[in-house]
Amino acid sequence: MNSKEYLVTLGVPPSLEEAVVDCLLTLESEHGFCSFPVNSHDHKHEGLSLAEQVSGRQKKIRFQMYVPEDELVQLLDRLRVEFSGSGIRYWVLPVVENGVI
Task: State the DSSP string of 6-19.
Answer: EEEEEEE-GGGHHH
Q: What is the pLDDT of residue 24?
A: 93
Residue 99 belongs to a domain: no
Cα 91 from chain centroid (whole Å): 8
For the chain, give percent helix, strand, coil, nearest 5: 35, 30, 35
CATH number of the domain within which 29 lies = 3.30.70.120
Helix (H) or strand (E) holding 82: helix 69-82
Overall domain count for the chain? 1
Residue 71 in contact with residue 27, Cβ under 8 Å?
yes
Tell me the per-residue pLDDT of 32-62, one tens digit each, with 9 for 90 and over: 899 999 988 766 656 666 666 666 778 899 9
Domain span holding position 29: 5-94
Residue 15 belongs to a domain: yes
Q: What is the pTM of this model?
A: 0.84
Residue 65 belongs to a domain: yes
Give the rounded percent of residues in the chain with a pLDDT score beyond 70: 80
Q: How far apart are CA 15 and CA 98, in angstroms?
A: 31
Report whether pLDDT(30) > 70. no
Residue 64 belongs to a domain: yes
